[in-house]
Structure 1
Amino acid sequence: MVFKMKSLRLWLVLPLCVLLFAEVASAGQANVFIYHRFDENRYPSTNISTEIFAEQLAYLKQENYQVLSFGEVVRRIQQGESLPEKAAALCADDAYQSFADGAMPIVREYGYPITLFVNTDAVGSSGYLDWQTIKGLHAEGVGIENHTASHPYMVEMEEGESFAAWRERIKKDILKSQQAFSQQLGYQPKSIAYTFGEYSDEVIGLVKELGFESAFAQQSGVVHDKNDLFTLPRFPMGGPYATLKGFIDKLKMKPLVVLQQEPVSPLIYKENPPELLLQLETADVDMGRVNCFVQGENSCTVAAVIGRPGWYRVIAEQPLSGRRNKYTLTVPGKKGGWHWFSQPWVNAERPALQSSLDVKKGSAAAFQADVGKAGEAVTADQ
């Protein structure tokens, strides 16, 4: 994939005199990494060599990072406790056999916590772990969490399916997996990883209804003390990103804290390219040097919204290509380092949407009309 970038200088045309929270009180964060396959070279996009994985864990130890379990990360956010300034968390999705064979000997060597998100229908199939192995991993302290039963496209309706039927199908799929965990492990997980990293307002509402306390996606980003617990980011470690340098670069990233955004859902609906409005905590960053990335032969811009201090409009110059894409913002910190935020986008063929989304789009349009054309607030350098 080709990434194009624009470095932007923000110029306010009018004089100006940081999810819904006050200013972030601490610099605590957790850089979370997601893995899939280990030493399975025939699946390059989701694979990492165990040699590089070992180097990454060695670096964590060498640099005195505190490796937290997912449960501890979530607990601290729930209870309003600060995260450490140098913290990481590790997880693997899909419960492939190579996790036990390749990753676990290295994890045991360092004694780090790690979480495995399991899609239960695949358990015992060729190339996947069986329940006996998963029970053993759980007994030795590996966190076992939910990744649905059948690994469906959670935001997509099947052909001819109504919204109500879609909702019932996804609900039954998740409940089926929860029942399997109850039968095999004696508990039901409280955290879920969205399949393919895809979620929506409707999916978030459903997992909350089913009793989950947190949910992880696959957009890159840094977890911080004020994160929305149902859109938690993770840095993928597969394919070209699965290197020691890539790991170190992501470890050094800091969060670009989003206080509010519109929309929250990554579903592309009616408008492509989608418009993203962000209220950012900007005290520690130099927004005059913000970078905007989008996948494909495309570019994106960031503009200060006139009349709304702290608000920025992000939009690509051309329609987003592919099923999954994202806007990624990186901003240099005033005290050094880089801050990161990524918004995923999903261009589903049959998106599962409530009719109320039209109202949301109308509200967003009204908001934009109120603040004026934000695009006039910046000039961009190639």
Structure 2
Amino acid sequence: MQQFANRKKRIFDIILILSLLFLAACAITTRLYHKTSEIRIDDDFIIVKATAIDTFSSLAAEYLNDPSKGWLIAEFNHIKSLTSGQELCIPLFPFNKGGLKSGGFQTVPVLAYYGFSKNKASKISITQDDFKAQMKYLKENGYHVITLDQLLGFLDYREQIPEKSVAITFDDGWISVYDIAIPILKKYGFPATIFIYTDFIGGGKAMSWKQIKELSEAGFDIQCQTKTHRNLKVIKKKESFKEYFKSLEMEISYPKKVINKKLQKECKYLAYPYGKTNNLVIAMLKKHGYRAAFTVNRKSNPFFIDKYKINRTAIYGKYDIEKFRKELSVFQRMELK
């Protein structure tokens, strides 16, 4: 019996090795085919013929050293799929960093979520099924979920991003984000940013620092929403300007230090509580090294938006898919002359 098991294992190992050799041979053959058929135009473009096993990702890995940039090849050639023998022009540079076209310009919606529930929706609480449906809609309709770093690369006119880009954010740090939203995001491979106000973390309905650290280590972005979630724009009743100034300093500097200490990550972005800000708040953010900050103005973002007044659209609990779709504006029509 043991002899039979050993023989079976050897046969399996041989089949595995032969399969790997076959795949390697295919890859080498494909690369050789590309090398003999490709045409280089200066250092800007390569024209190649696609093989039967090519994908946008494989071509991006070979020529752009980044398989995630398959969309760049697809968008440049205005195609959605490949066929064997098809000639393609591969750009070796970002050919449209600001998303400008003769008919208008690219915009990026940033979605803001709050809490979640299994089956009961409220103004700020999305049901599990509704969130699943929204993420499925993004995946099936060709949207690319990008990180805030990618968004800032676009806003700084440094990076090109996919035409149908969208960013996902969560506010506060509710435990329901950890329990309900995160598993759905992982299923679709979507990145997201969680803006936390540090006094809330560890409370009864909030995530713990252990859970926050787990999400950070899993690749989710943890950023600031102040210390106590006070309205940064408004001086409180009986609060002197000096007290207001000191409070702003604490609200902005303290969570940055806490996040750095607990997660060993830099806090670069802030979501304004209630979406409110003023020139003093913005000046203090710049002083403390924040690269950008986010409101809750319901608009998408062109590359020329003020980086300390980036728009976000709150997604509420009773949105059907049609209403959700209308919040995904990725292009602003305007005759550019």
Which TM-score tier does this pair reach, normalised by the shorter chain?
0.5 to 0.7
Report if the CA contact (8 A) 1:29-1:83 is conserved: no
- 1:225 to 2:300 alignment: no
**SS, match of residue 199 in structure 2:** helix
- Superposition pairs for residues 125-204 of structure 1, below 5 Å? 125-204=203-282
- 1:283 to 2:335 alignment: yes
- Identical aligned pairs, as a percentage? 25
Comparing 77-86 with 195-204, which one deviates more in the overlay?
A: 77-86
Match of 1:235 in 2: 313
Match of 1:314 in 2: none
- Offset of residue 64 of structure 1: 1.2
Larger RCO, structures 1/2 (Cα 8 Å, 6+ apart): 1
Q: TM-score, normalised by structure 1?
A: 0.59
> What is the identity, as a one-letter code, of the residue corresponding to 2:220?
V
> What is the identity, as a one-letter code, of the residue corresponding to 1:152?
R
Q: Extract structure 1 runs of 4+ deviating beyond 6 A.
A: 40-43
Say which of 245, 263, 270 aligns to 2:322: 245
- Offset of residue 210 of structure 1: 1.3
- Offset of residue 40 of structure 1: 7.0
Match of 2:129 in 1: 51
Comparing 153-162 with 121-130, which one deviates more in the overlay?
A: 153-162
Task: Please give the alpha-carbon distance, in whole angstroms, between the structure 1 residues aligned to 2:232 and 2:247.
Answer: 10
> Which whole-Å deviations, capped at 9, do the CAs of 1:88-121 have from their partners, x for residues lacking one?
1101000100000010110010000011001011
Report if the CA contact (8 A) 2:120-2:127 is conserved: no
Match of 2:283 in 1: 205
- Superposition pairs for residues 39-118 of structure 1, below 5 Å? 39=117, 44-118=122-196
CA RMSD of aligned residues (A): 2.1
> Which whole-Å deviations, capped at 9, do the CAs of 1:40-83 have from their partners, x for residues lacking one?
77772211111111111111111111110112101222243344
Task: Please give the alpha-carbon distance, in whole angstroms, between the structure 2 residues aligned to 1:250 and 1:44.
Answer: 19
Task: Please give the alpha-carbon distance, in whole angstroms, between the structure 2 residues aligned to 1:85 and 1:99.
Answer: 28
**SS, match of residue 183 in structure 2:** helix
> What is the identity, as a one-letter code, of the residue corresponding to 1:245?
E
Task: Please give the alpha-carbon distance, in whole angstroms, between the structure 2 residues aligned to 1:250 and 1:284.
Answer: 24
Task: Please give the alpha-carbon distance, in whole angstroms, between the structure 1 residues aligned to 2:100 and 2:196.
Answer: 35
Match of 1:8 in 2: none
Residue-pair matches, total: 237
- 1:25 to 2:131 alignment: no
Report if the CA contact (8 A) 1:39-1:48 is conserved: yes
Match of 1:362 in 2: none
- Offset of residue 284 of structure 1: 6.0
Say which of 192, 200, 217 aligns to 1:122: 200
> What is the identity, as a one-letter code, of the residue corresponding to 1:90?
I
Unaligned stretches of 5+ residues in structure 1:
1-22, 257-281, 286-382
**SS, match of residue 192 in structure 1:** strand
Unaligned stretches of 5+ residues in structure 2:
1-97
> What is the identity, as a one-letter code, of the residue corresponding to 2:331?
K
Task: Please give the alpha-carbon distance, in whole angstroms, between the structure 1 residues aligned to 2:336 and 2:133.
Answer: 32
Task: Please give the alpha-carbon distance, in whole angstroms, between the structure 2 residues aligned to 1:103 and 1:197.
Answer: 22
**SS, match of residue 33 in structure 1:** strand
Report if the CA contact (8 A) 1:149-1:174 is conserved: yes
Task: Please give the alpha-carbon distance, in whole angstroms, between the structure 1 residues aligned to 2:295 and 2:119.
Answer: 24
